[in-house]
Structure 1
């Protein structure tokens, strides 16, 4: 499940980041964004958003253009920019400490949903 969750980030990025890139003509300070630590609340928000995006991505009844809009809406509702989502997704691929925190957050979220 952990790998699938992280993988959805990469799949969702293609949908979520393209419109944002077109809208942001000014360059983003990527080094500064990457250096910003991921809070526990932000990580949980990422996990929930990625899970919702995965469901949208896998829904064969939703047209690709509608999927893109739905994913943008998910990020908007989560109050997370596509750039920050991308930064967290990239960090999850290589940062074992962040992966461990994500695993704990997933377990906590599942327990809360069941209890």
Structure 2
């Protein structure tokens, strides 16, 4: 079962420092996949994978792009769009916004 957007948002809480940002083309299909690694103040890390990214908006304002203070995932599956199931945005700094087909969160073992 896919975790809910609320569960993802709870997991993201406290992970504010961007340590890796990687956008790659997926040759198996027309689209892009985004991987971001985020750190918290206790030294923990979390990897966020967004597949089939669309409508990507980046608004880096100096140091603001190194910190996401209000990353928020919204579940859009009820809208019935095949490739747009989630949105991800930084509500505080408005540094990033995107739509994607799938979102996964992973903590290193």
Greater strand percent: which structure? 2
TM-score bin, normalised by smaller chain = under 0.3
Structure with the larger RCO, 1 or 2 (CA within 8 Å, 6+ apart)? 1
Query: Rg bigger for which structure?
Result: 1
Identify, as 1 or 2, the structure richer in helix: 1
With the length of structure 2 as denominator, give the TM-score of the two structures: 0.27
Q: What is the TM-score of this pair, normalised by structure 1?
A: 0.27
